[in-house]
Structure 1
């Protein structure tokens, strides 16, 4: 069974024999569309580092904040990408205590400027749009927090997790029925 307590992705949980999760028989993997591929994401990461020196975790959080919580890249996407930016000479690394601090280089600034229109288009795509759906984003954050808090509360409880799953499936079905 998939336990929210373990923080394991449902597909990985299924691979570990934990049952009722996407990717298991009868439960296809249903991931949403990716907001960025690695090539596109590097422009946004480089722009964030140009704005101010950053640690890897800061980059993940900055992207999540700009996207209004709708998207947060995984460490598995960010750290190899940042390594590539260093190898290309676009970013330099310094130590900040026991963390790596990434700074833009003149080559990185030149690369951003040479691709300014594309960088600006990416920024427009990720920036959380102000408007009518702001309350929906806020409600989604609240729902996510409630699901994770109740799913992780106390000892793993199969009945509670099953109830959470049923509520989420019912809500998804009701929203899909609106279309």
Structure 2
């Protein structure tokens, strides 16, 4: 996937998020994910080293609230934002462009996956047809259909398990963006429609 922030820009963008209100690390991750419509969610390994650097430079401070470490911008941090206001405006423009680019990449990836799935289904159907014996066409066709059904169910179960793991992992890292549910419904509906079209073309 293409880089989202140019070198040094994420640091300044984190500072701008903290200028809105104090936040702990996972709130910053969630805020970034929401700004990018769920198409980009940085890891803790990306965020915390930059927060540590900002603290070293005296641009943010941190306090402990229970088990959470909350970061707040300092006066020096606000002064840097004012001094680099033009750069921050340019970063906002880059964020807008990145959201559009990442959305296009996600869409392209889904389309490629659908093409691959269609090709696999068509190949399996051709292989099953070639293996048919004239004396037992109906039986072989039924066996091929049953095998294809089992394979399709296995693929669906594997996809469900993998996506479930991904969602739980993301939730543990800071929660799921609100946009992910409608996006999930939309993408699954697209896949189902494409599969149904493939099936109806063969009937």
TM class by shorter chain equals 0.5 to 0.7
Distance of aligned partners of 1:37 and 1:130 in 2 relative to their CA distance in 1, 3 Å threshold: closer
Residue aligning to 1:73 = 42
> What is the CA RMSD across the aligned residues, in angstroms?
3.6
Q: Is the 8 A contact 2:36 2:99 kept in 1?
A: no
Task: Say if 2:89 is the partner of 1:120.
Answer: yes
Cα distance in 2 for partners of 1:107, 1:75 equals 25
Residue aligning to 2:31 = 62
Residue aligning to 1:150 = 161
Cα distance in 2 for partners of 1:121, 1:100 equals 30
Q: Is the 8 A contact 2:63 2:71 kept in 1?
A: yes
Cα distance in 2 for partners of 1:79, 1:130 equals 23
Cα distance in 2 for partners of 1:76, 1:53 equals 20
Aligned pair count reads 120
Partner SS, residue 23 of structure 2 = coil
Shift of 1:66: 0.2
Residue aligning to 1:35 = 4
Distance of aligned partners of 1:66 and 1:148 in 2 relative to their CA distance in 1, 3 Å threshold: farther
Partner SS, residue 40 of structure 2 = coil
- With structure 2 as the length reference, what TM-score do the two structures score? 0.49
Gaps of 5+ in 2: 114-155, 166-190, 192-203
Q: Is the 8 A contact 1:44 1:119 kept in 2?
A: yes
- State which structure, 1 or 2, has the greater radius of gyration over its C-alpha atoms: 2
Residue aligning to 2:63 = 94
Q: Is the 8 A contact 1:69 1:137 kept in 2?
A: no
Higher relative CO (Cα under 8 Å, sequence separation at least 6) belongs to 2
Partner SS, residue 111 of structure 1 = helix
Shift of 1:150: 3.4
More helix by share: 2
Cα distance in 2 for partners of 1:42, 1:57 equals 15
Distance of aligned partners of 1:38 and 1:94 in 2 relative to their CA distance in 1, 3 Å threshold: farther
- With structure 1 as the length reference, what TM-score do the two structures score? 0.56
Shift of 1:48: 0.3
1:6-33 per-position Cα deviation (integer Å, ceiling 9, x unaligned): xxxxxxxxxxxxxxxxxxxxxxxxxx22
Partner SS, residue 43 of structure 1 = helix
